Amino acid sequence: MLAPMQGLTNSALRAHFAEQVRPDVLFTEFMRVSPVAAVKRLSASDLREIAPAECGVPLVVQLIGHGREPLVSAAIAAQEAGAAHLNLNMGCPYGRMASGLTGGGMLRRPEELAEVIPPLREAVKGSFSVKIRAGYEDPEQILSLLPLFEAAGVDFIILHPRTVVQEYGGEADHSITARVVRNTRLPVIANGDIRTAADGRRVLEESGAAGLMLGRGAIADPLLFRRLRGEADPSPDTAARAAELASYLEGILPRYRELFCGDMQVLGKMKAIVSHQEDAGLAKPLKELRKAKSLAAFVAVLSGMSPHG
């Protein structure tokens, strides 16, 4: 699964991934649920992105919000707009998502989840899943929530085994993933710190997870999906990595030109992808891409990296 990443996994990037590396499942960026009854629960722009699939790949609509009535009515609205698969974000660790009762903040009041999860599951006619952190402060909190998810009929759990307060510090502890797998009959999708094919295979083997969700590792290297399947070289040399990165960014660029307005906005979005690249062998071109003052300068660097440039 390609993880939902706010500001990154927009429709253009999802289409590129779907066509080039074919994830088994795609997710929208999270769609904010308005708590105000007098307005639409989901924005018009979000409603336009909703579909049962994208480029033939199942598309999961991820909701982020709080409160039984807002979430249930948003789920109904999403389905009326065409959603076949819905997911509840219970893991976002940033800002008001963590300090309030939205995203990872939902784990601050676990006693209220019994009022939300069952009616939400009942309202969703297709698949319903949760993406969740291991806990708010306690990494074992997830274990106490498994009976609720099972009784409500949640279809699967996507677990990022850090706490909300950790944000992205330290390492994802997939021994927690393994414990969750052993303690539930629900399929568990492992998420967090999977940056290479070796990482993915190790997590699957050691945790017993049903599958993987790839986030930052996939943004850095879309071919990670194909490397995990044995369809691409798991350890390309520096020249091959440079060519792969140039091809990736050159493939995204025309899609971003169509989706976003103006060269500077496109440049900022391209740099957001580059910010996830961590490759010592490509330190010089990556530095040049990050420092490019114009889209033309950015493209010139790409041209120098490409074997066809």
d(CA 206, CA 86): 28
Backbone angles phi, psi at 209, to 5 degrees: -60, 155
- Tokens standing for 127? 């698949």
d(CA 184, CA 178): 10
d(CA 293, CA 297): 7
d(CA 245, CA 266): 17
User: Nearest CA to 248 among 240, 258, 237?
Assistant: 240
**Active-site residue, selected from the candidate residues 42, 84, 92, 178:** 92
**CA 74 from chain center: how many Å?**
20
Beta bridge partners of 60: 27, 85
The DSSP symbol for 29 reads P
CB proximity list for 123: less than 8 A, separation 6 or greater: 72, 75, 76
Contact 172, 162 (CB under 8 A): yes
Backbone angles phi, psi at 159, to 5 degrees: -110, 125
Three-state SS at 93: coil
92 is catalytic: yes
Whose tokens are 């017993």? That residue is 208
Contact 210, 189 (CB under 8 A): yes
* Residues tagged active-site: 92
